[in-house]
């Protein structure tokens, strides 16, 4: 039995949380009183080993310039223990966060006008970042089947024919899919043949459920040698999402040298004091926490799936293989939702975020609208964040049911 508490939520209503801000909630779902199950952080206590490390720092109460060499050593040991992956310091660059590192690599190793392949649905900063940096988004749309979103690797390969890079998320956000080593190797082999750069965000990888196995892109690439950069971070794994610290793993030393050179030129090398303290404690002492969390999240995902099957049979939860977010497929009630948005337009925001407004207004629950993930075709989906304690999860599920029952009784 784990001594960590994943059953109780922490009250965050007054702690300047982006997720719990009533103003933000109102923007997403039209109802500022709705309970939040959107932004990808958890309402659970962070890893105790991290809070103890911070307490020790606070007792000393000196937060001067820090020497961080042990941070990378600890990360290397963690990767060996958690993912059976051998890393060497000369393949790694530490950085101030995931998105900043991906953006830096995108700027350095592709040029304006380059075509970047992104699987859709996609974590929205990916396509925003590509566009904001003058590159072109080339979307590969996953197949939408009875079982939810499914990768067709041949189509992905075909769509990427003219691309200079692929920006990938493994495990995938928002579907939560964990890819097999063979699938990753196929992507890498194609990339090598075409001399494409592979940028792989693995921020959710440490939260892979015990019955699945995540293969780091870095490891899958050994023996293939595609130009690839794999990005890892402790933020989701140890429930410290607001702290910014990440690691980039490079297939080629030239890529690493250029990355570090640019970090230096822009004075982006220094990791904030508390982020470094937390990451160091997480990677050196947090493995038990991380494994217990994976087990707890897998059980919570089972609970969501079973609850919806029993109580809202027209909805389908595309159960993820990792992490604490998953898509709820509302295609079978979406016509009713559209009808509501037309007959009660005062509750909605025009054509924007129709489904998240439906759940916000009719159920009092705030979830990410499917369209956030890159296409109007995803409008019949919401992303549900179940990274919370049992009471809050049950409350959230009952609010989904409230909206669902409303839709079914509105005939």
Instruction: Give the residues lining the site for ligand PLP (CB under 6 A).
Output: 40, 97-99, 123, 169, 173, 201, 203, 233, 235, 244, 246
Q: Which is nearer to ligand PLP, 95 or 353 (CB)?
A: 95
Minimal distance, residue 204 CB to ligand PLP, in Å: 6
Q: Which is nearer to ligand PLP, 53 or 246 (CB)?
A: 246
In degrees and rounded to multiples of 5, residue 60 shows phi and psi of -70, -35
**Residue spans of alpha helices (H) in 133-180:** 153-159
Whole-angstrom distance, CA of residue 271 vs CA of residue 65: 10
Cβ burial, residue 45 (10 Å; 0-12/13-18/19+) = middle
Question: How does strand 92-95 pair with strand 246-250?
Answer: antiparallel
If you ran DSSP here, which 8-state letter would residue 130 be given?
A: H
Whole-angstrom distance, CA of residue 38 vs CA of residue 161: 35
Q: Which is nearer to ligand PLP, 95 or 298 (CB)?
A: 95
Whole-angstrom distance, CA of residue 325 vs CA of residue 320: 7
Q: Which is nearer to ligand PLP, 329 or 372 (CB)?
A: 372
Q: Which is nearer to ligand PLP, 204 or 285 (CB)?
A: 204
Which run of H or E residues covers position 143?
strand 143-145
In degrees and rounded to multiples of 5, residue 213 shows phi and psi of -135, 120
Q: Which is nearer to ligand PLP, 25 or 99 (CB)?
A: 99
Minimal distance, residue 369 CB to ligand PLP, in Å: 16
Our CA dihedral for 271, 284, 76, 46, rounded to 10 degrees, sits at -60
CB 141: neighbour CB atoms within 10 A? Answer: 18
Minimal distance, residue 100 CB to ligand PLP, in Å: 6
Minimal distance, residue 328 CB to ligand PLP, in Å: 17
Q: Which is nearer to ligand PLP, 40 or 220 (CB)?
A: 40
Whole-angstrom distance, CA of residue 354 vs CA of residue 339: 11
Whole-angstrom distance, CA of residue 347 vs CA of residue 384: 21
Minimal distance, residue 246 CB to ligand PLP, in Å: 6
Q: Which is nearer to ligand PLP, 340 or 369 (CB)?
A: 369
Minimal distance, residue 13 CB to ligand PLP, in Å: 21
* The total number of residues written for the chain in this structure: 411
Q: Is 16 left (phi over 0), alpha (psi -120 to 50) or beta?
A: left
* Residue closest to 200 by CA, chosen among 228, 225, 162, 173: 228
Q: Which is nearer to ligand PLP, 26 or 103 (CB)?
A: 103
Q: Which is nearer to ligand PLP, 270 or 398 (CB)?
A: 270
Minimal distance, residue 53 CB to ligand PLP, in Å: 19
Q: Which is nearer to ligand PLP, 40 or 403 (CB)?
A: 40
- Inter-helix orientation angle 69-83/287-311, to 10°: 50
Minimal distance, residue 320 CB to ligand PLP, in Å: 12
Minimal distance, residue 308 CB to ligand PLP, in Å: 23
Minimal distance, residue 128 CB to ligand PLP, in Å: 12
In degrees and rounded to multiples of 5, residue 328 shows phi and psi of -105, 125
Helix, strand, coil % over all residues of the chain, rounded to 5: 45, 15, 35
Query: How distant, in Å, are the alpha carbons of 364, 390, 407 from that of 12?
Result: 18, 15, 30
Whole-angstrom distance, CA of residue 270 vs CA of residue 84: 28
Minimal distance, residue 271 CB to ligand PLP, in Å: 12
């Amino acid at each position: 039995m784990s001594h960590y508490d994943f059953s109780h939520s922490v009250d965050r209503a007054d702690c300047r949380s982006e997720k719990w801000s009533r103003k933000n909630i109102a923007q997403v779902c039209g109802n500022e009183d709705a309970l939040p199950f959107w932004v990808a952080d958890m309402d659970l206590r962070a890893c105790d080993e991290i809070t103890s490390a911070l307490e020790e720092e606070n007792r000393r109460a000196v937060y001067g310039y820090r020497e961080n060499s042990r941070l990378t050593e600890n990360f290397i040991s963690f990767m060996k223990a958690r993912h059976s992956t051998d890393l060497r310091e000369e393949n790694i660059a530490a950085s101030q966060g995931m998105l900043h590192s991906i953006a830096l690599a995108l700027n350095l190793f592709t040029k304006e006008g380059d075509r970047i392949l992104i699987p859709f649905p996609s974590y929205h900063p990916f396509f925003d970042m590509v566009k904001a940096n003058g590159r072109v988004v080339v979307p590969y749309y996953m197949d939408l089947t009875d079982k939810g979103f499914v990768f067709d690797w041949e189509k992905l390969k075909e769509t990427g024919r003219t691309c200079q890079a692929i920006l990938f998320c493994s495990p995938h956000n928002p579907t939560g899919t964990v890819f097999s080593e063979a699938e990753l190797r196929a992507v890498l082999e194609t990339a090598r043949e075409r001399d494409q750069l592979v940028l792989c965000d693995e921020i959710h990888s440490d939260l892979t459920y015990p019955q699945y196995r995540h293969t780091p892109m870095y490891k899958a690439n050994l023996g293939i040698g595609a130009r690839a950069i794999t990005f890892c971070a402790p933020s989701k794994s140890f429930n410290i999402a607001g702290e910014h610290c990440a690691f980039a793993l490079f297939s080629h030393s030239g890529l690493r040298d250029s990355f570090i050179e640019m970090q230096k030129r822009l004075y982006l090398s220094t990791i904030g004091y508390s982020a470094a303290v937390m990451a160091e404690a997480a990677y050196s002492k947090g493995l038990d926490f991380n494994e217990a969390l994976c087990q707890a999240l897998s059980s919570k995902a089972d609970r969501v799936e079973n609850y919806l099957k029993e109580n809202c049979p027209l909805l389908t939860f595309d159960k993820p293989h990792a992490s604490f977010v998953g898509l709820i497929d509302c295609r079978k009630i979406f016509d009713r939702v559209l009808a509501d948005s037309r007959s009660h337009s005062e509750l909605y925001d025009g054509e924007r975020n129709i489904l998240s407004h439906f759940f916000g207004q009719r159920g009092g629950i705030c979830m990410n609208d499917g369209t956030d993930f890159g296409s109007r075709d995803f409008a019949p989906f919401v992303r549900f964040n179940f990274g919370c304690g049992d009471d809050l999860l049950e409350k959230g599920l009952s609010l989904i049911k409230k909206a669902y029952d409303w839709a079914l009784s509105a005939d």
